Structure 1
Amino acid sequence: MGIILNIGKAEVRRSLWSRAACTLGVSTLVLTGVACSSGADTGAVAGAEAGSSSGVQSDRLAVLASFYPLEFVVERVGGNSVGVTNLTPPGAEPHDLELGANDLVEVREADLVVYLRGISAAVDNAVNTAAGTRWFDVTALARLEADIHFWLDPLRLADVADGVAQRLAELDPSGAEAFRANAAALRADLTALDAEFVSGLATCARRDLVTSHAAFGYLATRYGMQQQSVSGLSPDGEPTAAALARVADFVRDKGVTTIYTETLLSSATARALASETGARVAVLDPLEGLAEGAVGDYLTVMRANLGVLRTGQGCT
Structure 2
Amino acid sequence: MLSRSLRRAAVGGAATVLLLALAACSGTSGDDGKVSVVTGFYPLQFVTERIGGDHVKVTNLAQPGAEPHDIELKPSQIGEISDAKLVIRFKGVQPQLDDAVGQNAAGHDLDVSTVTPPATGANHRGATEDAGAPDPHVWLDPTRLAAIAGTVSGRLSQLDPDHAADYADNADALLQELTKLDGEYAAGLKQCQRHEIVTSHAAFGYLADRYGLTQIALSGLTPDTEPTPQQLATVAAEAKRLGATTIFFETLVSPKVAETLAAEVGAKTAVLDPLEGLTEGGTGDYLSVMRTNLEALRAALGCA
The answer to whether TM tops 0.5 is yes
Structure 2 residue aligned with 1:98: 72
Aligned-pair CA distance for 1:134: 1.0
Structure 1 residue aligned with 2:115: 141
1:77-92 to structure 2, matched below 5 A, reads: 77-92=51-66
User: Matched residues in 2 for 1:143 and 1:78: separation?
Assistant: 24
Q: Is structure 2 residue 278 aligned with structure 1 residue 290?
A: yes
Amino acid at match of 2:173: A
Structure 1 residue aligned with 2:165: 177
Structure 1 residue aligned with 2:154: 166
What whole-Å deviation, never above 9, does each CA across 1:115-158 have from its counterpart, x for those lacking one? 11111121112123235221111002123112100001011001
Amino acid at match of 1:289: G
Structure 2 residue aligned with 1:126: 100
User: Matched residues in 2 for 1:238 and 1:276: separation?
Assistant: 17
Amino acid at match of 1:62: S
What whole-Å deviation, never above 9, does each CA across 1:82-128 have from its counterpart, x for those lacking one? 11011101100111211000000111011111111111121112123
125-134 or 74-83, which moves further after superposition? 125-134
- Would the aligned equivalents of 2:81 and 2:101 in 1 still touch at CA under 8 Å? no
What whole-Å deviation, never above 9, does each CA across 1:41-99 have from its counterpart, x for those lacking one? xxxxxxxxxxx8xx5x1x21011111000000000111111110111011001112110
Amino acid at match of 2:56: V
User: Matched residues in 1 for 2:155 and 2:58: separation?
Assistant: 14
User: Matched residues in 2 for 1:174 and 1:128: separation?
Assistant: 29
User: Matched residues in 2 for 1:132 and 1:283: separation?
Assistant: 38
What's the Cα RMSD here? 1.9
User: Matched residues in 2 for 1:292 and 1:62: separation?
Assistant: 24
Amino acid at match of 1:82: V
Q: Which of 253, 261, 273 is residue 273 of structure 1 equivalent to? A: 261
User: Matched residues in 1 for 2:181 and 2:290: separation?
Assistant: 8
Amino acid at match of 2:57: G
User: Matched residues in 2 for 1:61 and 1:77: separation?
Assistant: 12
Q: Which of 61, 64, 78 is residue 38 of structure 2 equivalent to? A: 64
User: Matched residues in 2 for 1:173 and 1:300: separation?
Assistant: 31
Higher relative contact order (CA 8 A, sep 6+): 2
Amino acid at match of 2:49: E
Structure 1 residue aligned with 2:87: 113
Amino acid at match of 1:150: V
Structure 1 residue aligned with 2:125: none
1:7-46 to structure 2, matched below 5 A, reads: none
Structure 1 residue aligned with 2:140: 152
User: Matched residues in 2 for 1:313 and 1:260: separation?
Assistant: 12
> Number of paired residues?
267
User: Matched residues in 1 for 2:224 and 2:262: separation?
Assistant: 19
Percent identity reads: 50
Structure 2 residue aligned with 1:45: none
Structure 1 residue aligned with 2:48: 74
- Would the aligned equivalents of 2:81 and 2:105 in 1 still touch at CA under 8 Å? no
Amino acid at match of 2:149: A
Amino acid at match of 2:171: A
Structure 1 residue aligned with 2:302: 314
Q: Which of 185, 192, 199 is residue 187 of structure 2 equivalent to? A: 199
Aligned-pair CA distance for 1:305: 0.6
Amino acid at match of 2:223: P
User: Matched residues in 1 for 2:191 and 2:205: separation?
Assistant: 19
What whole-Å deviation, never above 9, does each CA across 1:278-308 have from its counterpart, x for those lacking one? 1111111111000011111110111111111
Where does structure 2 lack aligned partners over 5 or more consecutive residues? 1-19, 120-133
Amino acid at match of 1:142: T
User: Matched residues in 2 for 1:140 and 1:222: separation?
Assistant: 20
Matched position secondary structure for 1:99: coil
Matched position secondary structure for 1:91: coil
Amino acid at match of 1:302: M
Structure with more helix by fraction: 1
